[in-house]
Amino acid sequence: MLKRMMWKREPRTWLAIVGVLLLWASAFAGIRAGMRLTPGGGVGADGYGPGELALLRFGTASTVLALFAVATRMRLPARSDLPQIGLAGFLGISVYHVALNFGEVTVNAGAASLLISAGPVFTALLSTLFLKERLTRIGWGGILLAFAGVSLIALSGGKGLRFTPGALLILLSAGVAAIYSILSKQHLRRYAALEFTCYSIWAGTLPLLIFLPGLIRRFPMAAPPATFAVIYLGIFPAAIAYVLWNYALARMPASLLSSFLYLSPVIASFIAWVWLGELPAFLTVVGGAIAIVGVILVQTKGHAREGR
């Protein structure tokens, strides 16, 4: 019975999941707005480069979280945990976001959403190996069904799918995101979600300082909407969304939580319609419906419960 209670998603957990999906879905459009991508592919003269965008975004997030940490006198992590926290921050923040930003320069939004959606599959596999979580056959079927739905969304872009260097970078992002979830799950047994989020984002921001000279050059030339977009990314899809993600991750299996990310391309398509005027195609709507059904299967019938 104890394990069933551990898997119970209370209202605050559901609200955290909804918040994460909305904020992270908006990040795809926000990244493109921050880089001011040209129709032919490439960063606009009045936008931020991929590395500079990552630094400004997580520099903003780090500052916001640092102010809160000082105000609340947040405790520091144990020295013995610093290596793994540093690794989590490096992979989940530095590598993930730099690779994703560089990938989005040359990969269309549909292909990007498909490739990044490999993340829940990687998370489910790693959760089985390292966290001893088990999905049922229906659960794995739901993951594959949701992935098929995202594939339709990707194909609806009409530009085809090619494994370019940019595509491989986005696939790398999906892999390191899964590792970040596993490392986070282990540390969330000892630290509150807000604490671990602060530690990992601070650790992940430090390597991004390599882009500081470029950011100093870009900042005066960047268009105000680009700067506002990156600041939005830093406060909401970075600082707030990571706290919400870790809050939910501390309260449910990583494999189940990660399956919700299949809804992100669905929400991202709607946000891109509102923010960027990109009207969703018929295949996007159909794929979104299939992805939703897949996630429902994972959440209702997907996890093997051991013991009572």
Asked if 112 and 169 count as a contact pair (C-beta separation under 8 A), the reply is no
pTM of the full predicted structure?
A: 0.86
Structural domain count of the chain: 1
pLDDT of residue 158: 53
Residue 117 lies in a domain: yes
Is residue 264 one of the residues assigned to a domain? yes
Give 125's contacts (C-beta < 8 A, 6+ positions apart). Answer: 178
39 inside domain: yes
* 42 within domain boundaries: yes
Q: Looking at the domain assignment, is residue 163 inside a domain?
A: yes
Query: What pLDDT digit, counting tens, does each position of 244-303 carry?
Result: 999 999 998 888 898 888 887 778 777 777 766 767 777 777 887 888 898 888 877 777
Domain membership flag for residue 308 = no
**What digits encode the pLDDT tens for the residues 124-153?**
888 888 888 888 888 888 888 888 887 777
For the stretch 59-84, what's the b/e string if a residue is b when 16 or more beta carbons lie within 10 angstroms of its beta carbon? bbbbebbeeebeeeebeebeeebeeb
More confident residue, 193 or 104: 193
The H-assigned helical ranges of the chain are 2-7, 11-35, 50-72, 82-89, 96-106, 109-116, 119-126, 137-155, 165-187, 193-205, 212-218, 224-233, 241-249, 254-259, 264-276, 282-301
Q: Is 134 helix (H, G, I), strand (E, B) or coil?
A: coil
Quick one: what percent of the chain has pLDDT higher than 70?
87
Residue 307 belongs to some domain of the structure: no
pLDDT at position 122: 86
- Mean per-residue pLDDT, 51-63: 98
Residue range of the domain that includes 68: 2-301
Q: Which residue has the higher pLDDT, 180 or 143?
A: 180
Q: Please check whether residue 88 is in contact with residue 184, taking contact to mean a CB–CB distance below 8 angstroms.
A: yes
- 53 domain residue, yes or no: yes
Q: 152-177, pLDDT tens digit by residue?
A: 776 665 555 555 677 788 889 989 99
